[in-house]
DNA sequence: GCCTGTGAAGCTATTCACAGCT
DNA sequence: AGCTGTGAATAGCTTCACAGGC
């Protein structure tokens, strides 16, 4: 086996459990909306209401919810708290999921700050950087280790997935180490195509590409509106 | 007209010019690869070679390239420099595209630092923040304005698209102001659904959702590999 | 021979539309 | 009446496979 590649904007892998990739994204969004509704005291919610909040169609909501194994009923739709819990259980069966961050530059630090203590189940347990000066420091409550310690720390801390925020040139090397250490998921911010085994899920989030895409469509829109005026 | 919404992970809009959304993402990736090849002195390249670099199929490459209006030929495939220029022209017909960044927090500053001077055609011309202490400062060569100045500055600087990095609660308000100021594209990092007119393209890049997705698939992979062992 | 460009096929994801329920 | 859950239809994207070219 080797190079289970698919790559690009999104998923590099076939499918897992038969749940579509996009559905997972939406579910994690619904979860957030459901938490907010629950806190507002909403007891039940209909697919069309949740759809309006999420900006999708009601049919999409119902279809997505078939995966999580919780049924509503025509009387009251879905019970908010129960649905939220069901989605929660579905998305993260484990108590906590441990993550690592590799590359403590500007973006890496911003992500650490952004996540620090914010998420109940996802915790960044270790950071790594090739700059030896950064090793030993603690940023946002997260210990920073030298790159050499990666494999050992990943195993010790039971780290399942990692975030790559190193320069493009180092990304493949980092991905190899992570993969060797047993990491099964990578969120890659480096503008590079990662070659990994088929047992590692890779999600690419290249900020430059995202901006270029938005710029492209914005320009197209502007041109058409100029023509119109 | 109103609320041309579609929302979620990716595009909120039908289509523009008939070019698929995903194709644009890939093209901006090919462009980067082509630049690198050009610098290495590669003169021509075949679809299967570019495909290997990008991690997609050769057919995908050929299909995507039909949009840019440059043809290769069976003798030498594509001329690297010409193809690169064609892709370049296709993605950004304008000399420069001006962007704004709204929300100068951790993430906002990281993005400013990340982009500062890096991109030839995309330039962040102004930053905005509701904290008055930040107004007037210059970060990474980018001037920071108070929120009230948004509309005026956007028009003055001919800003076409914007990056939102404010807290979720403020995102809608910011989107409204941007839309009113004539911005046609938004890259939204706030975990919120933006309601905008159909003439504004919105791309959502929610970091929490991305991490949850990776964590989900990583866990699924780990469980299956544990079963196997 | 081996490539490109592209109609047609194949897939996947989304939406429709309705049976079934209360 | 108005909802959910879901088979069937549709839309959108990707890949196949081959004609055409040099």
What six digits make up the tokens of B128? Answer: 């905005």
Integer Cα distance of A130 and A173 in angstroms: 12
Integer Cα distance of B178 and B162 in angstroms: 8
CB contact under 8 A, A55 and B21: no
- Residue B78 forms beta bridges with which residues? B45
Condensed to tens digits (0 to 9), the pLDDT of residues A161-174 reads 999 999 999 999 99
Ramachandran bin of A191, using left for φ above 0, alpha for ψ from -120 to 50, beta for the remaining angles: beta
Which ranges of chain B have pLDDT less than 50?
A: 1-16
Residue A20, C-beta contacts closer than 8 angstroms, at least 6 positions apart = none
- Burial (CB < 10 A; 0-12, 13-18, 19+), residue B156, is exposed
What nucleotide is nearest B57 when CA is compared to C1'? D15
Residue B6 phi, psi dihedral angles, 5° rounding? -145, -45
- Please report, rounded to whole angstroms, the spatial distance between the CA atom of protein residue B65 and the C1' atom of nucleotide C4: 11
- Residue A186 forms beta bridges with which residues? A162, A202
Find, among A205, A169, A173, A187, the residue nearest to A8 by Cα.
A205
- Residue in chain A lying closest to B7 (CA): A55
- Residue in chain A lying closest to B97 (CA): A215
User: Can you give the pLDDT at residue A78?
Assistant: 97
Ramachandran bin of B182, using left for φ above 0, alpha for ψ from -120 to 50, beta for the remaining angles: left
Integer Cα distance of B24 and B83 in angstroms: 15
Mean of per-residue pLDDT scores for chain A: 90
CA distance A179 to chain B (A): 12
Integer Cα distance of A181 and A155 in angstroms: 7
Question: Mean pLDDT throughout A82-96?
Answer: 93
Give alpha helix (H) positions in A67-167. Answer: 80-91, 106-115, 150-156
Select the more confidently predicted residue: A11 or B175.
Answer: B175
Tell which strand C nucleotides have any atom below 7 Å from a protein Cβ. Answer: 1-7, 12-17, 20-22
Cβ of A59 near strand C (distance < 7 A) = yes
- Please report, rounded to whole angstroms, the spatial distance between the CA atom of protein residue B59 and the C1' atom of nucleotide D16: 9
H or E stretch at A49: helix A47-54
User: Can you give the pLDDT at residue B223?
Assistant: 77
- Burial (CB < 10 A; 0-12, 13-18, 19+), residue B92, is buried
> How far, in whole angstroms, is CA B148 from its chain's centroid?
26
CB atoms under 10 Å from CB of B220, counted, come to 19
Residue B162, C-beta contacts closer than 8 angstroms, at least 6 positions apart = B99, B100, B101, B102, B154, B178, B183, B185, B186, B187
Percent of chain A with pLDDT over 70: 90
CB atoms under 10 Å from CB of A185, counted, come to 27
CB contact under 8 A, B54 and A109: no
Cβ of B71 near strand C (distance < 7 A) = yes
User: Can you give the pLDDT at residue A58?
Assistant: 97
For the entire predicted model, the pTM comes to: 0.90
User: Can you give the pLDDT at residue B222?
Assistant: 84
Task: Show residues of chain A in contact with B184, CB under 8 Å.
Answer: 217-219, 221-222, 225
User: Can you give the pLDDT at residue A198?
Assistant: 86
- Please report, rounded to whole angstroms, the spatial distance between the CA atom of protein residue A105 and the C1' atom of nucleotide C12: 38
CB contact under 8 A, A160 and B215: yes
Question: Mean pLDDT throughout A9-37?
Answer: 77
What six digits make up the tokens of B144? Answer: 């920071």
């Amino acid at each position: 086996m080797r190079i289970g590649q698919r790559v690009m904007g999104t998923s590099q892998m076939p499918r897992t459990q038969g749940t579509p990739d996009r559905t997972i994204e939406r579910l994690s969004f619904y979860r957030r909306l459901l938490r907010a509704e629950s806190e507002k005291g909403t007891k039940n919610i209909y697919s069309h209401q949740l759809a309006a909040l999420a900006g999708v169609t009601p049919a999409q909501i119902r279809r997505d919810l078939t995966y999580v194994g919780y049924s509503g009923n025509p009387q009251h739709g879905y019970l908010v708290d129960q649905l939220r819990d069901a989605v929660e259980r579905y998305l993260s069966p484990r108590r906590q999921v441990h993550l690592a961050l590799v590359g403590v530059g500007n973006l890496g630090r911003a992500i650490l700050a952004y996540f620090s203590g914010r998420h109940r189940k996802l915790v960044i347990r270790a950071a790594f950087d090739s700059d030896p000066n950064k090793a030993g420091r603690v940023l946002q409550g997260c210990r920073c280790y030298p790159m050499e310690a990666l494999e050992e720390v990943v195993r010790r801390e039971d780290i399942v997935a990692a975030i790559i925020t190193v320069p493009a040139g180092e990304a493949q090397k980092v991905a190899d180490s992570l993969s060797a250490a047993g990491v099964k998921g990578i969120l890659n911010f480096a503008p590079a195509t990662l070659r990994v085994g088929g047992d590692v899920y890779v999600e690419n989030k290249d900020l430059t590409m995202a901006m270029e895409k938005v710029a492209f469509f914005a320009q197209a829109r502007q041109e058409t509106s100029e023509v119109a005026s």
